[in-house]
Amino acid sequence: MSHHELELAKKVFLSGLGIAALAKGKIETVVNELVQRGDVTKNDADGIIEALVKKGQEAEGDIHQIIRGEITKIMDEIGIATKKDIEAIEEKIKGSSMSEKAEK
């Protein structure tokens, strides 16, 4: 993945966090307006806000999973080694070096 693509992924992730914060504020504003109009009681408002924020957090988690999956797929498509791949190669090299030392 190029530097540009990594920066783009980072921006998407961070903007998602910002949207989540804005969403909570908007939810609170709308529900508080409903309380002021008398459509919802204050006791109900707290539960509504909590439920909607929880749903938003769940959706955010789903979005993060999708983004991670897409990034992994792109990395596979263009042949970038993962941390796990590099660690496996390092272990092979260590094993090979030890075998050569033992033979000497």
DSSP secondary structure string, 36-52?
HHTSS-HHHHHHHHHHH
Residue 6: its pLDDT value, please?
A: 56
| Residue 21: alpha-carbon gap to chain centroid | 15
Residue 88: its pLDDT value, please?
A: 95
The pair of three-digit structure tokens given for residue 50, joined into one six-digit string: 């909590």
Residue 25: its pLDDT value, please?
A: 81
Residues of the chain scoring pLDDT < 50: none
